[in-house]
C-alpha cells in the first residue's frame, strides 16, 4: 500500500528572531542555515519515517540547494525516481521563527513551477497505482487537477497555500485538510473554525481543520469530533502541519478511521514543534514511544 505525494520540494532558509518585524522595520536575527523543506517533501518524509512506502512526484534544480532539499527524503526512504531535474533553481522558502515558536514563510517556487499537467502525466501509472494520492497547494493548478484525475485510490488534499484550483477536483479530497485561516479562504468568508467545518462539509465528504496547539476538528458523515493536542513546549512550529498530514495519511493506510488517524497525527504534530526545523523534527515510532504497542 503506497502513498504518492505530488508536491513541492524546497530548501528552507531559516532566520530566528525575538519577534516578527513590523512593516519597514529591520531586526537582527540568528540562524541562516539551509534545511530541507517544501510541503510535498515534508509530508512525504513524515509518512515515510513512520513506515509508509512513499513516492514523490516533483522537481528540483541543478543548483547546490538540490542536495540540501532532498537528502532527508533519501534518508527516510522516499522513492525519488519521479522527481524531475529542472533548469530553474530549486524551490526556496524563507522562514522567520519568533521566540514563541510562531513562524512566517515566504516561498519562491522555482522548479516546483514545472510540476504541471505535463510532468504529472509522465508519472500517470505511478499515480493511478497508488493507494493514496496526497496533494498540497505549492504546485501549478493544472498539475493538481491532473493528479486528481489520474488517481484511482484515495485522494487527500492539504490545500496550503490556498491556490485557485478546479473546484470539482478539490471536492475529490477525502479528507480536505486546512488550518483555520485556510478554511476561511476556501470558503471565501470569515467564520469560526466550527462554522467553517460545518459549511465545508456541505461540499466535501470529510474535512479536518487543524488548530495548532488547540488540536483539530474532524468532520464527516458520522459527525464532528474535536481532537485534543498534547501539551508541549514549542520550539519551532515550522512544518508541524505537514507532520500532521503525513502522519494522518500513514494511519489511514493502516486502516484507522479518520478520527483515529487525526488523534495520532496530533501527537506527531506536537512532537515536531519541540524540535527545530521541519523534516529534522519528524519522529519515527520509537521516538514517539507509543503506548500499548500501537503500530
| 269 labeled part of a ligand binding site | no
φ and ψ at residue 92, rounded to 5 degrees: -130, 130
Q: How far apart are CA 258 and CA 264, in angstroms?
A: 10
Residue 70 is placed in which grid cell? 532532498
| 242 labeled part of a ligand binding site | yes
Q: How far apart are CA 103 and CA 87, in angstroms?
A: 30
| 42 labeled part of a ligand binding site | yes
Residue 261 is placed in which grid cell? 488517524
| 220 labeled part of a ligand binding site | no
| 215 labeled part of a ligand binding site | yes
| 63 labeled part of a ligand binding site | no
Q: How far apart are CA 65 and CA 89, in angstroms?
A: 8
Q: How far apart are CA 134 and CA 246, in angstroms?
A: 9
| 214 labeled part of a ligand binding site | yes
Q: How far apart are CA 7 and CA 131, in angstroms?
A: 17
Assess contact for 36 and 56: CB atoms under 8 A: no
DSSP3 helix / strand / coil % (the chain, rounded to 5): 40, 25, 40
| 212 labeled part of a ligand binding site | yes
- Identify the helix (H) or strand (E) that includes residue 54: strand 53-60
Residue 198 is placed in which grid cell? 460545518
Other Cβ atoms less than 10 A from the Cβ of 185: the count is: 16
Residues with active-site annotation: 242
| 281 labeled part of a ligand binding site | yes
| 205 labeled part of a ligand binding site | no
| 12 labeled part of a ligand binding site | yes
| 37 labeled part of a ligand binding site | no
The binding site for substrate consists of: 10-12, 38-42, 138, 242
The binding site for ATP consists of: 179, 210-215, 241-242
The binding site for K(+) consists of: 236, 238, 272, 275, 277, 281
The binding site consists of: 10-12, 38-42, 138, 179, 210-215, 236, 238, 241-242, 272, 275, 277, 281
Amino acid at each position: 500500500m503506497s502513498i504518492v505525494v505530488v508536491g513541492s520540494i524546497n530548501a528552507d532558509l531559516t532566520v530566528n528572531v525575538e519577534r516578527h518585524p513590523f512593516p519597514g522595520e529591520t531586526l537582527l536575527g540568528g540562524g541562516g542555515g539551509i534545511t530541507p523543506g517544501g510541503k510535498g517533501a515534508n509530508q512525504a518524509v513524515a509518512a515515510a519515517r513512520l513506515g509508509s512506502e512513499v513516492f514523490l512526484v516533483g522537481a528540483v534544480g541543478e543548483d547546490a540547494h538540490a542536495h540540501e532539499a532532498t537528502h532527508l527524503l533519501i534518508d527516510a526512504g522516499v522513492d525519488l525516481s519521479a522527481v524531475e531535474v529542472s533548469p530553474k533553481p530549486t524551490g526556496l522558502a524563507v522562514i522567520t521563527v519568533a521566540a514563541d515558536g510562531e513562524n512566517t514563510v515566504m516561498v519562491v517556487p522555482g522548479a516546483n513551477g514545472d510540476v504541471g499537467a505535463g510532468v504529472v502525466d509522465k508519472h500517470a501509472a505511478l499515480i493511478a497505482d497508488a493507494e493514496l494520492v496526497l496533494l498540497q497547494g505549492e504546485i501549478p493548478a493544472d498539475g493538481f487537477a491532473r493528479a486528481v484525475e489520474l488517481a484511482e485510490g484515495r485522494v487527500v488534499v492539504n490545500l496550503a497555500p490556498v491556490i485557485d484550483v478546479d473546484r470539482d477536483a478539490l471536492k475529490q479530497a477525502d479528507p480536505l485538510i486546512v488550518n483555520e485561516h485556510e478554511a476561511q479562504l476556501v470558503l471565501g468568508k470569515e467564520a469560526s473554525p466550527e462554522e467553517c467545518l460545518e459549511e465545508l462539509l456541505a461540499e466535501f465528504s470529510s474535512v479536518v481543520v487543524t488548530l495548532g496547539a488547540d488540536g483539530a476538528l474532524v468532520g464527516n458523515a458520522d459527525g464532528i469530533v474535536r481532537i485534543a493536542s498534547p501539551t508541549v513546549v514549542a520550539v519551532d512550529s515550522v512544518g508541524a502541519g505537514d507532520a500532521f498530514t503525513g502522519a494522518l495519511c500513514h494511519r489511514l493506510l493502516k486502516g484507522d478511521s479518520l478520527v483515529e488517524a487525526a488523534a495520532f497525527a496530533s501527537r506527531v504534530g506536537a512532537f515536531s514543534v519541540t524540535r527545530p526545523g521541519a523534516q529534522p523534527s519528524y519522529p519515527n515510532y520509537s521516538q514517539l514511544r507509543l503506548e500499548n504497542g500501537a503500530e
